[in-house]
Chains A and B, each alone.
Chain A
Amino acid sequence: MTGQDTVARAAATPGQPQPFSELGLTAPEYQRIRGLLGRRPTDAELALYSVMWSEHCSYKSSKVHLRQFAAKAPRSDALLAGIGANAGVVDIGGGYAVTFKIESHNHPSYVEPHQGAATGVGGIVRDILAMGARPVAVMDSLRFGPAGAADTRRVLSGVVSGISFYGNCLGLPNIGGELAFDACYAGNPLVNALCVGVMRHGDLKAAAANGPGSQVILLGSRTGPDGIGGASVLASATFGEAGGGHAAKRPSVQVGDPFLEKLLIECCLELYRGGLVTGIQDLGAAGVACATTELAAAGTGGMRVRLDAVPLRDPALGPPEILMSESQERMMAVVEPAAVPDVLGICVRWGVPATVIGEVTGTGRLEMTWHGETVVDIPPGTAADDGPVYSRPLARPAWQDKLAGDDPGALPRPSGASGLRSALLSLLGSPGLADKTWVTEQYDRYVRGDTVLAMPEDGGLIRVDEDTGLGVALATDGNGRYALLDPYAGAQLALCEAYRNVAATGARPLAVTNCMNFGSPEDPAVMWQFAEAVRGLADGCAELGVPVTGGNVSFYNQTGESAIQPTPVIGVLGVHPDVRQRLSIGFAADGARIVLLGRTEAEFGGSAWAQVVHGHLGGRPPRADVAAERNLARVLADAAASGTAVAAHDLSDGGLAVALAESCLRGGRGCRVTLPGDAFTFLFSESPARALVAVRPGAEAEFTAICAAHAVPAAVIGTVGGDRLEVEDAFIISLAELAGVHRGALPAIFG
């Protein structure tokens, strides 16, 4: 009736030219689709395969490398669901399980920062909801161009307002993350959003359509022409000529409605409680195409969908646009026929639109009709699981050796007390190390009433059980400078830092998620960086005993030929046995002895000092010592549980000097410190596997015994007290001066 390209017509017109390359498919990929179907695809099928086989959905360039995460995974009794599910699920004891994942929304956040970042939050929250969990907190890992650049002001302000708008309205506390600046991100900001959810063991939901006869229900927003820039190619190439459709071309960025997402969360959780859904999938990238093919492929195998039943915001949309639309705040539920009235009733109560659009079949085919005519008829696994897999060429870049040879040891070091003093103040006032309150004050960290730690603490900490004090800690970390110098080490250093940050709250690290932000996979140098980073992360996780439970790859982060620094962002989740015993970074007790844990070497490659003071990036990054990280984490957990520590802070960017200043400012107390060796090295080196601990007065011997038991070097370097940061033979700086520099930097730039 509408001149749609039907299966019958496709079979009858094998020679009709199709715009596959405009949809991002290569000629061999297009031929492969024809081979799988035994005919040319219809327009709707072509749209479906093009999004399902996109890099974003199919991981076609990364799959061969990501397999290491499973192959090298350490044995873990804690893992209830792993890679391949919407998000990994981890047993934290007490009958509870948590699920968490981090995902990128980089490209949309550059085009339209506010909505791009907002819908990034919305998307990851639905991933967690789809596992059967109640989302309980979010975090954001953000990277922008130089802080002083005019465009950074546009992008950062928009991204922060978008996260604030969406996350606050949704009622999820934002408990931490990162904020970093580098020229390489000027045209490619990184916006990585993490969400964590909690459920009881039995609540885990499957993303599968099982049981012929079960009904397929679309929940949430009506479908509009959001994020379907590609589909307009089809519209103009075919429907325009046929005179059938005239969908307006709109920007390819989606618009978020956090109010509807909040209702969707409460509605889905009520459906779960009632045992009313047998399968559920969120709609994110590739929308209805992805949800239907994945549900069908993971279930009985067949599904019949009436595309004309999908409620539309724009009546001009046809099958290809409906399949590709990335309209937000939608979920797809599989429901046994008898439960449909109850499901629809609960949706009415929550004001969530819900429509039956199809049913599960036993045919093994995914069939879709449009006003009675068949426009899609495919084996769903061919789109969901059997996409192309590429072993792209990789080559260590020619410049890598030259970069490694540019040793920071040749840089002039600060001379004398005044030089050390001004180096610390420069670091504390640099945008990447400055106080982040300008950003974090726009996020609600309290909502839900279970936030125990949030920024500027090392890790976020959420109470799960009010009676027992059971909780979960989370941290995300990444460092593109380290990873550029050595992607294998860079990924491990990011893992180690996130692991250490979780441990610094007193929690025991359990599992890992990752967001791999890289340039074009078609560039062999980028592909080498990616392969090295994945190998480093998989090896590091194996040695630490924490499995990768899921993650996300974002390629094509580059402007022209110039790629971003390789930036693996690693999220670590830990379990805290009793959040009442949490450790804060703040020096909050006068008289506490300050102990430096770990070994300090002269390691300045990729350091904040080299970057901020000299604008230098070269040499070797610090040496990751995974075994030392594990021992350090055990000390921190024991120190928290025994009550011997009153504060702990990990050492990372800016080394001991920055960590001391942060702990003083957080606790509102000064300290007096004597360094055990060369002042410059001890203050600014970034050797990993180190932390500061403030020990409860009287518990020094007990704490020393804990360190000895885990073979962690410990040096008493000073005492908490006063209103100045005093480093013997180096400098004395009042807390007021530190605070002015640290807290004034971002407001001076962003208003």
Chain B
Amino acid sequence: MTARVGVITFPGSLDEGEAARAVRRAGGEPVMLWHGQRDLRAVDAVILPGGFSYGDYLRCGAIARFSPVMSGLTAAARAGLPVLGICNGFQILCEAHLLPGALTRNAGLHFISRDVRLTVVTDRTPWTRAYTPGQEITVPLKSGEGAYAADAATLAALESGGQVIARYLDNPNGSAGGIAGVASAAGNVAGLMPHPEYAISDLTGPGSDGLGFFSSVVSAVTAGAR
């Protein structure tokens, strides 16, 4: 079977085309989903791409979480569907309480567009199984509100529960614990502030280190189906 990976377009989404391109490059079949439709079209996994949904004039992701597509997605995520939110998608998943914590203004207050070094912390999620724990990768970061924040108890639970999936080597935006990405307790829902979909080739990105997130889910879905 071919993994069918849904990519949602919200008003103001920007990176849906690149997320779809990365899925295709990883051997999956991208399926474009529209924010106004509840139906998930029987996809095997879903990506919420980056961008500025609804302009992000309120808190980032605060309006998108009420989109019709999110009601179906929330139930499916709680039932185990692999879901990855990248950048604005991560913010939406936090606003929807599918992931703990929140993303706040960068330390220094400026938008940061930069290639960053990350450590992939765990291979025990459907989005990171292609990596080796401790593996260092380079992917672009491009966000103004990318500083991960959570209360001390939540942070402690994330660390002890193995829910931190990626960490900055050189924390660029003031994220708590240098956290670049987290997963839900069950591991199927993940959020990542940097953009692996822009690291799939050295022609248009810093290399192809980001492809692993997409090949991970493709292999997880196909393995699960066998």
Contact = CB atoms under 8 A, between A and B. Distances in A.
Interface in A536-551: none
A161 B110 CA distance: 8
Interface stretch (B40-48, B54-62, B70-78, B159-167): B54-62
A441 B52 contact: no
Q: For the side of the interface on A, what is the size category?
A: 20 to 34
A449 B204 contact: yes
Interface stretch (A201-209, A255-263, A507-515): A255-263
A244 interface: no
Interface stretch (A163-171, A339-347, A609-617): A163-171
Interface string B134-147: 00000010101000
Interface in B101-123: 110-114
Interface in A437-491: 440-452, 463
A270 B18 CA distance: 20
B11 A259 contact: yes
A447 B111 contact: no
B195 A446 contact: yes
B11 A451 contact: no
A104 B140 CA distance: 31
Interface in A420-449: 440-449
A441 B51 contact: no
B11 A263 contact: yes
Contact of B203 (A351, A448, A463): A463
A579 interface: yes
Interface in A258-287: 258-260, 262-263
Contacts of A580: 203
B207 interface: no
Interface in B23-46: none
B203 A579 contact: yes
A444 B12 contact: no
Contacts of B52: 168-169, 171, 258-259, 262
B203 A444 contact: no
A731 interface: no
B174 interface: no
B133 interface: no
Interface in B165-200: 195, 197-198
A452 B11 contact: no
Contact of A446 (B54, B55, B142): B142
Nearest to A160: B110
Contacts of A445: 113
Contacts of B114: 441
A450 B18 CA distance: 9
A57 B34 CA distance: 41
A96 interface: no
B197 to A, nearest CB: 8
Going nearest first, the 7 A-B pairs with the smallest beta carbon separation are: A259-B55, A171-B14, A449-B18, A169-B52, A446-B198, A442-B111, A444-B142
16 contacts: A164-B144, A258-B55, A259-B52, A259-B55, A262-B52, A441-B110, A441-B111, A441-B113, A442-B110, A445-B113, A446-B140, A449-B17, A449-B204, A463-B203, A463-B204, A579-B203
